[in-house]
Chain A
Amino acid sequence: MLDILVASLADGLLLGFVYGIAAMGLSLIWGVMDVINLSHGPIIALGMFGVYLAFNGLGWNPYLTLLLVAVMGLLLGIVIYGVAVHRVLNAPHLSTLLATFSINMIIIGVGTALFTTSPRNVDFSLGSFSLGHITLPWARVAAALAAVLVTALLYLFLYRTRPGKAIRAVANNRAAAELMGIPASRVLALSFGLGTMLAAIAGGLISTFFPFTILAGGRYELKSFVICVLGGLGNPLGALIGGLLLGALEGIIPAFIETSWVPVLEFVLFVVILLVRPSGLLGSKS
């Protein structure tokens, strides 16, 4: 019993890192510009298809392809910001929710026409290793390491570079940042791009161990919401911890009740936390 529990916990935690960076993308955009990006899921799916196409079509190594996927994700995000978000940034929440949802519909619509909804997978195996009674696939470990690396780089960027500091300044107070000579629109576009970049990377990592369709992103988008609320909306490190928490829950809960109950508990937890502490378990009290 304990063996199974430890094994599924380790499994869940490793997956939690990847959930974490998906949620970090959502959380970054929310924190900087108060926008809930409803095109998050399809962008995760595009990340999956980026790795899939490069691996199956060109035979590229999935992990190296991630770099390209990241750049594409960044550019896509900047385009989405320019087309759909910028004009409605100061309108009521409904406008930004629907504007990003329209991007969701466009990506899913075109994606379904191009790729159909039949399941795909990236058939690239790194093998697995055993540690005592636990057997873990290397792909999960590699994904977790990549997630940690991405988080570290994001933190270095946000705290050590000028554009990163500008993002934090705009998140803190956009009007004051503009008065200090920070070009807010460009900074917002960059933040949106970083958010979608994280989503695309998360999608690319997930594609190395789970099969997927163009619609698969929706699941991870919903998980990202749960994680953001666990870790506090607008708090990137909180998102990573929230991801680990969710991964651990997904690992532990099935040991006690049927797996199909996991989403029920997840979403009930989500609503309860929203009600009790909308700033998140780890967020500040304000």
Chain B
Amino acid sequence: MKPWRNPGLWLVLALTVAISVWPALASNKAYTREVSFTILKAVALASSLNILLGYTGYVSFGHIVFYGMGGYVGFYLLDVHNAPLYVAVLAGGLASGLIAFLLGRAILRLRGAYFALATIGINEAARAFIKNFDLFGGPIGMSLNFNVYKSYGGPNQALWIAFISMAALTLVITVVSFLVKTSRFGLGLMAIRENEDAAEVMGVVAPSSKTWAYVLSAIFPGMVGVLFFFKNGNIEPPDAFNLHQSIETIVMVMLGGYGTVLGPVLGSAIYQRLRGLLLVSPLFKNIQLAVAGVLLLIIILFMPAGVVGWLRSRFGALRRVLE
């Protein structure tokens, strides 16, 4: 079936576009833009992680390292070399992809929990290294000079540019996620997820497939990182390599349904909205993390396939629509 004739693709795109145009329709545009930016960023990170976690079955706990590394490279170009935003974004993505390619060759030999532990180790090593790396500002990080925003028509205009770029990037990621899933390459990845040895016997070249899946799932977080830190105006090691954010991304993938195209999009939207509501509720404000933990536990114990997986198994008719 041609990709554009699959209703699953259009459903995912429609959801992403709906999140993106929401600020334009809302009354409080600046506030809604920030909420929408947070959701889009989560969708982008979750969808790219899903290529590795959901399709290939490799649990990367420290995936945020690519967001941080890409963010740092792009930010350095913006700050020190006054590079235009699109160059910085591309450079950030490229840097993350390159790091993933080099790392992947080594650590993708590990399986299961050993791989998960190694990714945590890499994230922590990267954070500790950047803290000592003076070119990137060491422990205090870097801050953008306010003049940088002038070439984008002032800070307010720059925030909109960052938002629109993030929306466009998120759309690209969801399309890529869909294309990977329906391609021959994606089938190979899913075969690796089910049984790596059997997949190799059937002719899937596991080492190179895994490496490319890893690279693909690293490029986009790198680009997202540049956009976020451009908007943020400063970058510091604890924000860039936040292990907690990394695991939250896994939670969003699991909530929506791992290994599906719609799952990470839906999961991120639900999780971020819920988190936003908890943060402003007087009752749950202080224990929002605990509430999120209880939610995660309930999903893991009773709905391991996530919302999309549950819907697919409960209502057979939806299987054609929910990819």
Contact = CB atoms under 8 A, between A and B. Distances in A.
Interface stretch (B73-81, B206-214, B296-304): B296-304
Instruction: Pick from B61, B112, B113 the residue with the most CB of A within 10 Å.
Output: B113
Interface residues of A, number: 43
Contact of A93 (B59, B287, B292): B59
B132 A258 contact: yes
B19 interface: no
B13 interface: no
A267 B121 contact: yes
B294 A102 contact: yes
Contacts of A126: none
A105 interface: yes
A271 B124 CA distance: 10
Contacts of B61: 97
A121 interface: no
A109 B110 contact: no
B121 A109 contact: no
Nearest to A262: B128
A268 interface: yes
Contacts, number: 122
Interface residues on B, range: 35 or more
Instruction: Pick from A34, A88, A101, A261 the residue with the most CB of B within 10 Å.
Output: A101
Given A105-B290, A109-B290, A112-B289, A267 B122 contact: yes
Interface in A85-102: 87-88, 91-95, 97-99, 101-102
B110 A102 contact: no
A102 B300 contact: yes
A283 interface: no
Interface stretch (B25-33, B181-189, B247-255): B247-255
A275 B290 contact: no
Contacts of A94: 53, 59, 250, 254
Given A94-B250, A266-B128, 19 more contacts: A88-B304, A94-B59, A94-B254, A98-B250, A98-B300, A99-B297, A99-B300, A102-B296, A104-B293, A105-B289, A108-B289, A108-B290, A258-B132, A263-B124, A264-B128, A264-B129, A264-B132, A267-B121, A274-B118
